[in-house]
Each structure stands twice: as C-alpha cells, then as structure tokens.
Amino acid sequence: LLPGVPHGHAVIQADFSRDGRRFLTRGGPAVRVWDVATGAPVTPPLDRGAPPSCAAFSREGARLVTGHDDGMAQVWNLATGQPAGPRLAVGGQVRSATFSPDGRRILTGWLDSSQLPSAAQLWDAATGEKVVQPMWHFDGLFHAEFSPDGRRIVTCGEDNTARVWDAATGEPVTPPLRHRAYVYTAAFSPDGRLVATASEDGTARLWEAETGEAVTPSLEHEGRAGWVGWSPDGREIATGW
C-alpha cells in the first residue's frame, strides 16, 4: 500500500482513472492527480482560482474536467497540467461535470438558488461550444451522467424528479421519474436499460430508461437515500447516504 499523499487540504473526493494508473484528489483550492504505482504527483495542482466542486477523468485518462463554485468548468491536459480549451461558463455552482464515453463532449449540471430553474448542458470538449439545448429542471440540479453508450443522459434534483434525455437533441425521452422529495442521485445500469434513483423521501427506485415505467416497488430505507450505484454485472444495486 502507498502511504498517504500530501494533498495539503481536507480531501472531499478521490477517484481512479478508468485504467487504474492514476487517481485524483479534490479539496481546498485545487484538484491533484497522482501516479498509483509511486504516489508521485502527475501534474502541478490544478488550480484555476475558484474552489473545485467536482472533477472527473476522461475515459482514456489523458484529460480531466473540473467544475467550480464560481459557475465555471475547465478541461485539463494531464500531460502538461495546463488548461485544454476555454473555460465553460456553466451558470451557478457546478455540481456535476463529466466526459461522454467517447470523450468528445462534456456534460455539466449546476445549482444556484438565486437562478432557478437549473439545467444540464452539453459542450464540445475541444471548442467549449454549447451542444444542443439546455436540459431544464424546475429547481436545483444535483447530478447528471451519460448512459454507458453515450446516447442518453439522466439528471436529478430538487424538483423531486429524475429525467432521461436524448443526448443528440436534448429532448426528454421519458416523463419525469417522480419521488416525493429531492432526488440526490440517478444512475444507469451497465447495459443502459434501467435507471436507479435515490431520494430524500427514503426510497430508491428502478425505472425503465426508455419508457420511465417503474419496474419494482419502492425500496424503502429507514432514513433518506442519498446515493445509489450498480454492481458491474447489473444484477444488484447498493444504496447509502
């Protein structure tokens, strides 16, 4: 095992790259990227002057996208530690930023109680241009992600819904997937056929990604359900707060 790496501030996110060769840490004013084999830093601290609120590797592991509290997002080249393209003017606090599976687009979501409603937005990863129309929620947005094949997007937020969208057009695919309170997380199954949601109302639910139909009764929790994830084979889900 490696000894702890010296991030320099309290760490509130840590994630591996897809190939397992690098990992990131996020906390304080910067994101840092480390070599798994040696624990050595891969780049200088990735610091664009505003606290980072989220970070994610591209699938090939050569780039990173960061979202920030000032409403901006940035793509970074991990070979140089420098920005790769213009800043993305997202809106409110960036709560979610991720690459499409093919690495060509960035998906962002933001939350700002002074600028409601909130939206997810697709961007061209190379040019920073907006792609398709915004995908709106009537209240703050917590999370947005691509389906494994990149054809669909799921978002969720404070309007008590998750929503499935066509990534090519930004149009809704299903009716809203409704809970009785905030929906904190929504995640596609590995085959993209189902969506799992976790809510402040104390339930997790499973839905058909193409129709929005519920496929199981509500999975009841003693308290709120704040997170949901799938096993690699798609046969089980895990939930937690």
The secondary structure of the chain, three-state, reads: CCCCCCCCCCCCEEEECCCCCEEEEEECCEEEEEECCCCCECCCCECCCCCEEEEEECCCCCEEEEEECCCEEEEEECCCCEECCCCEECCCEEEEEEECCCCCEEEEEEECCCCCCEEEEEEECCCCCEEEEEEEECCCEEEEEECCCCCEEEEEECCCEEEEEECCCCCECCCCEECCCCEEEEEECCCCCEEEEEECCCEEEEEECCCCCECCCCEECCCCCCEEEECCCCCCEEEEC
**pLDDT > 90 in the chain, percent:** 86
Q: What is the pLDDT of residues 203-227, one digit of tens each?
A: 999 999 999 999 999 999 988 999 9
- Tell me the average pLDDT across 109-135: 88
What pLDDT was estimated at residue 1? 63
Q: What is the pLDDT of residues 87-99, one digit of tens each?
A: 999 988 899 999 9
Q: What is the pLDDT of residues 148-198, one digit of tens each?
A: 999 999 999 999 999 999 999 999 999 999 999 999 999 999 999 999 999
What pLDDT was estimated at residue 117? 82
The reported pTM is 0.93
What pLDDT was estimated at residue 51? 93
- Tell me the average pLDDT across 97-115: 90
Out of 40-44, 136-140, 169-173, pick the least confident: 136-140
